[in-house]
Amino acid sequence: MTKVIVVRYDEIGLKGKNRDFFVNCLVENIKRKFAGLEVTRLRAPRGRIFVDLPAPMVEACCARLREVPGIASFSAGVALEPDFDRIAEWGIRWIDPLLTPGETFTFCVRTQRSDKTFHKISTECDFEIGSRIMKRLSGKGLKVDIKRAQFVLEVEIGPKQTVVFHHRVPGLRGLPVGSSGEVLSLLSGGIDSPVASYLMMRRGCRVHFIFFENREFLGRGGYDKVLRLAGILNRFQGRGRLYVIPFGAIQLAIRDRCRPAHRVVLYRRMMYRIAQAVARQNACHALVTGESLGQVASQTLENLEAVSRVVSGNVFRPLIGMDKNEIIDRAKKIGTYDISIEAHADCCSIFMPPNPATRSRIPNLESDEAGFPGQSLMQEAIRKMETVELDESR
């Protein structure tokens, strides 16, 4: 018995002439995601992707499909001849264990034909299969309910094979990773930036990460944490890179030579500049940050403007309008929250100003920046940058 997983895609279905590009992208992502698993065949006739696979592989493959952006839903089922008796047999096999003596249980059959030459139309198929199941199980409390069935037996009759299944697992939706291009996300180790990265993956971006580190003062804890976060995020995209920038010298220069109230915004302006340079070197077409309006002192309108001014390309802030609880919910769902809340030193207290400015004025920031060699420190930091190729982990 060949098992089949039917994969339905999301927004790709709305695409026009370039639809094949998106479908191929999704197929490639799924293939890569299945690495190490035994899959017989993967094919994409119009509107669907079918995965033929041996029965023992079904559970593992389904688990991995849950992590692939671009999928609307998928269902595991069986491939059969379009024979009503055999289809009904599978329905009975699945429904019978769900019946409880003395209780009513409702079901219906929904058939779709992509093979329009099939000798019966969909509703006739529903009837043929449904009546066979009823004949066997109506004595055990089974009833038909077309609108609110507790169990829906789905049948897809195609030109080459008929697939029968009964449960739709929701996918991540969105677009397949890589279909939109590559972006660079500023990953901090906190709750927000992993969520922002994930949301961009769902918009079809391959997300690389950049982390600003002060190992001299804070040790390796932050680096390890970010590596683990990137590892989790990478499950949704397969591969990506982490750029680690030594940031201690820049922080020291800003701390020693600039107005304390401006420190945080000045750190961020340097981070943005470095991130933009790294993005350009690596063909990333946008920066991504986890900023959310008003969340902390550096994320007021004025301060966001002050950091945005130093770069000329795209800066995406997918969390800008979300509140903290929404972001936390997302982080829990994608599995980064528990790592994000682990205590780690993200900034030594000597670098923090006692009273950070919430409304920095750009001319003042620029006059502060004239007081330290930003350009050469930036070049030096990029020269010392470490690049970590994140493996295609599952």
Binding footprint of another protein on the chain (CB under 8 A): 215-219, 252, 255-256, 260-261, 263, 343-350, 352-354
CB of 194 to another protein, least distance (A): 17
Q: Which residue's structure tokens are 């264990």? A: 97
Shortest distance (Å) from residue 258 CB to another protein: 9
> Half-sphere exposure of 317 toward its Cβ, with a 13 Å CA cutoff?
17
DSSP, collapsed to helix, strand or coil, labels residue 276 as helix
CB nearer to another protein: pick between 99 and 347:
347
Between 214 and 234, name the residue whose CB sits nearer to another protein.
Answer: 214
What are the tokens at 104? 């009513």
Can you say whether the dihedral through the CA atoms of 169, 170, 174, 177 is positive or negative? negative
Among the listed residues 7, 53, 59, the one whose alpha carbon sits nearest the alpha carbon of residue 30: 7
| CA–CA separation, 195 and 332 (whole Å) | 9
Q: Tell the smallest beta-carbon distance from residue 354 to another protein (Å).
A: 6
Q: What is the nearest approach in angstroms of another protein to the Cβ of residue 347?
A: 4
- CB 219, min distance to another protein, A: 5
| Number of neighbouring beta carbons within 10 Å of residue 367 | 13
> Shortest distance, CB of residue 41 to another protein, whole angstroms?
46
CB of 229 to another protein, least distance (A): 16
Give the nearest distance from C-beta 349 to another protein in angstroms: 5
Number of residues assigned to the chain: 394
DSSP bridge pairs for 4: 52, 77
Closest CA to 47 of 159, 202, 180: 159
CA-closest candidate to residue 298, choices 258, 348, 358:
358
Output the smallest distance, CB 191 to another protein, in A. 12
Question: Residue 84: phi, psi to the nearest 5?
Answer: -60, -40
**CA-to-CA dists, residue 40 to 2, 26, 34, 43, 55, angstroms:** 9, 18, 11, 10, 11
94 is written with which tokens?
């699945």
Strands (E), 26-89: 41-43, 49-53, 71-80
Name the residue nearer to another protein (CB basis): 42 or 348.
348
CA distance 304 to 314: 14
Gyration radius from the chain CA atoms: 27
| Minimal distance, residue 391 CB to another protein, in Å | 27
For 135-167, give one letter per residue: b (16+ CB within 10 A) or e: eebeeeebebeeeebebbbbbbbbeebbbbbbe
Count the alpha carbons within 13 Å of 13 in the hemisphere toward its beta carbon. Answer: 14
